[in-house]
Structure 1
Amino acid sequence: VPEIFDGSSAHPHCSTTNSAILAPQTSSFVAESFSELENSQAISTDLPQTPQQSIHLMPRKLFHSSVSESSMAVPISDKRRQKKTPPTAKEMKLREKLVIARRTIHRLNMQIARASRRPRTLASASDIMSSAGTFLPPLTHKLFCAQVKMSKISKYGRKWSSAVKDFSLSIYYHSPRTYRFLRKMLALPSVTTLKRYHNRISLNTGVHNHILDYLKTEVAKWPTSKKLCTLVFDEMSIKKNLEYSTRMDKIVGVVDLGNKRKDVVANQGLVAMVKGTVAPWKQVIGHWLTADGENSSAIHGALFHCLGAIDSIGLVITTVICDQSPKNRSIIKRLGITHEKPFFFFRDKKIFFMWDTPHLIKSIRNNLINYDFIWKGKTVKWSYIVETVKSDQPLRLKLVPKVSLKHISFKKKGSFSKMKVKLATQVLSRSMNVAMLVLQAIGQLPPSSLPTAQFVLDFNDLFDCFNSSRKSVDKLSYRYPISLTSRHHDFLWEMLKALSTAKFVGCPRQPDCLNGWMVNIRSLLYLCEFMQTTYGERSLRTRLLNQDALENTFSIVRQQHGCSDHPTAKQLETGLKSLSLSTMSKLPSSSNCEQELEQALVCLSQLPATSHDREIAEDGDGVLEFDDHVEELGRVELNSFYYTCGFVIRKFLKAHNCETCKVTLTVADSDRRMEHEHHLFAYFKSFSDELGQEFGHLILPTNEAFLALLEMEKIFCNGFRPRPQKVGIGLGLQQAISLKNITLPLCSAESYKDFVAIFVRYRIFWTLRFMNKSMADNVSDKRITMKKLFKL
């Protein structure tokens, strides 16, 4: 044990060397040893007899202040020898521990020294990626592995997995600007790669057969409860806009019913979705482009086409749901649906029908604003609800904290508040019922307001019956699954009886929402019994029995294209394809519906690439038929046409770097001068006025090329305008131009065919651009301004 000696004397049993560094493994052990030594008596050893060598032993005080020399001095007589005291057993034990600790320290120091001299070996990339899988979620792990793999690979040689492309595409549709910012820091696919990956799947109008073909193999593995499904369909307002699809060789934006196209610009998009009745899943299975003037027969045909397609892949249709638009009411009337018989048969299978419940609750509120309501023989007035809300506003602690003046004031033009389901359900809620009872009890509302309070409570409970999502039984409300033994049945039969005698006072014609509630109540009661007796389903979550999933789909489609209230037909198709990225689509916070329970089934990467030649071969009937009349271009149009001819030739020469074609199509440098009146626009359009460079860098067509393109223009104008709805219109125009035997000596027949194709493609683009501008000019500027102000 280290001790304090005077002079240079050393203890015979201890070493004075104190330079060893304690290793972390033994530091606590050594500290305990020294602590025990401090509490023991001083160690006595054989000492010299001379006064100069006499010392007095004291244990070393670790981490304490030093003791003064006067207190340590003990007088020792020369004649009196100090007695030799042998070490105790405890001291011997501590000495052994100290020796072991010093050996351990030495061994660990040697290991550290050897490790510092040893060359370090880095783990391989594969080891890092496999190790990261234990700490990261699956999608994050795939993205991490992509960063490790692609960090050292050139951007032109990177090959991306489907999972990374799905993830990147979802970010791009949320915000292209954010995606471009992330690409500066992360290795992600280019926008061109994402668009090419997105375009490998084509969603043609009509039923999406390639999606149903994929589902057919998956449905065969499902249990019966998961096969039970609901068909939901609704129309979405779209912008009148025409776009040319070069892949499909057709114009997108006209009325397209899948098997028939019309020469009418579409302004409605009909979308059909199938979703689970018991299991929470959903999938868009078809879309159609319609117009306001179309009758209900188009929707009726689409409905039965969907029913047949769903039945053919093994799904079991239990319910059909839609809103109460005029076209839908006409369809339901043709099916023979009434509140006494809320079902119909398809292929000998009973299918129940229900109106969308959120639309019904809004309709009740909207009609109550305009008319008094007779409920259970008593009068219900909207004015009592308005007075309750206004009385609650000045209070610091409100009786109905979620209700404000916007719930009762809808006079602002262009306001979307009247369409929000949340505002209707918060007014017709239990909280409003309690507030009205309190105000009536203290005298702020008259006793005649009690029927209105009871009406509010009844419709709150009725909506809860159709909006149950909890799995456990709730004794305080009706928001739990309905079953044959639940207390929903008695309440629903009571409400059905009350609705049969209810009416709006002074309304010229009773609104369809009253009959709609009776249809829904009886359909739900029958459906609950049918599900248990036929398929053994004891309970039913009614939140799955509405079209919220489809409404949220429309919200996401609008969000993906700059929060556009009216996306184009092409944007609708693109949005529906992007929704195949099931888990990555996010519902906007301003949506009219809550987040639905369902999740999409099909992911974009799971679908095979679709062919585009099949539709053109089926619908395109070859060469277009033309009249003999040909329009002549005026003097001003000739100038603009001559300028655009140079643009077409530039695009052709960029793809065909041929000297023969260049000589045939472009004016030589020595001949670049203004000789005709139709050169004026190109002359003034150029940026150079130097002698010999009057036309700058513009390409001037030769007279032969100009006359050939002029003939093509006449054929195009005569063949395109009457037939924009035709599939394969570009191919038909090319064949019509080829049959005219227009003289244009290019290097080969293939070059001439490519030249004609380029002219037709760009000519279609220009025509549609002017048509879209003309349709946009017809929209009221005042309405556009009000929309922008509303968004702000």
Structure 2
Amino acid sequence: MEKGLQKRVFEVMPKITNAHLSPDAFQKMRVGLAFQLFGDEVIKVLFLYSKKIEKACGPVAPTECFVDKINRLIRVMTSRTPKKALYLRSSNCQFLEEFLSYLTEWEQYTKVTNGGFLSENTADGLRVTIKSTVELLEFLTSVGFRYLLTANLSQDKLANVFGIVRQMSGTNDHPTAAQFLITINALVFYNLARPPKSGNCSPQVITSLISGTKLQPPTQRTIDAVDCLIDEGNFSGAEAALVSCISADHTPCVVQKSHYMLTYYIAGYVARNALRMTQCEHCGSSLTTDKSEAMRSDQASQFTAKFDNGGLLYPSGPPSAAIGVLEDSFTTYISVNKLHEKSLVDFSAFLRNIELPLLGCKVHAAALTKNVVKFYVLLRFRFLTKSQNNEKAEKQQRMKLLKLRRCN
């Protein structure tokens, strides 16, 4: 048949190619090609063209019987569902026993005819695989299991591990025992800390295992704040506070923190706006300090001083500490909660458990602190929503360009 017309007619074995019949050195190592060569398509071809094959090559029945045996062996040893699983005293289990006897008879026959059998290593490996599968099935049945999914006995993963060991620190086909143990220990830790491709946990949860952060129990202030919300009848606020404040066992490991020098820089911006909120001279003087005093007393002011062209303010101790606590609280909340329409309300309930230093004089401390907290919280949520909206817009633009590229 001409090459151009091959795909216009029905084909009995379309998956069989020259790679199956005349494989090169690399293709001989591909198990998938061997599975297809002993698959149902070849059996169908032997049946469909049996007369032509018999005229050219002799009887087809022995070859068909051999291919059928190997095909059934492959199906029995690669079962993935309970319906096709291996059961004790089933026909498939009996077939494995018969196949071992078949191997022995085949080997005895080829000793007389001088050739035509498997290599010694292949035959021994095949016997060990089948016998170990049957013995494992007997053991599992004795301890209460009903069947065995033989596909799970694949040694591909084990072969991959040995391949990684041989390629570790350069090609080394014969690693020593010490090198093998060191590599295996490194792989065990890598698999523990590597984020999964799919699962019900975020990558940060897994990578946080390399951190030595110790877990902190809830403080008494947190418990009292939740009790106060319950006494007031604010059950929704209490629930939000519990969800936000009583963290999961991995929360302290995955929360993100802003750099303390950047927090100090933002604290200066907040102090500038706080000066507009008060007319009290004592409150205004307590919010800021001069550059030399800030450089001497607070290491966090180095970033602000480095990029100060003469217009930046240096917050004093109380506002710097208050903004630091607010920033840590905000980053902690955002790290473990997704942004939604009630995030501002939930974060306000979260702040009820946080102790903040008061700002200004005793007369205006409560009002000034409240205004500063309100300003900073709105500022941070505005920054967050703007950044997320920009990311969403960029993603939509990328998808639009990708769609246009596919159309063109």
What TM-score do the two structures reach when normalised by structure 1? Answer: 0.21
More strand by share: 1
What TM-score do the two structures reach when normalised by structure 2? Answer: 0.39
More helix by share: 2
Question: Bigger radius of gyration, 1 or 2?
Answer: 1
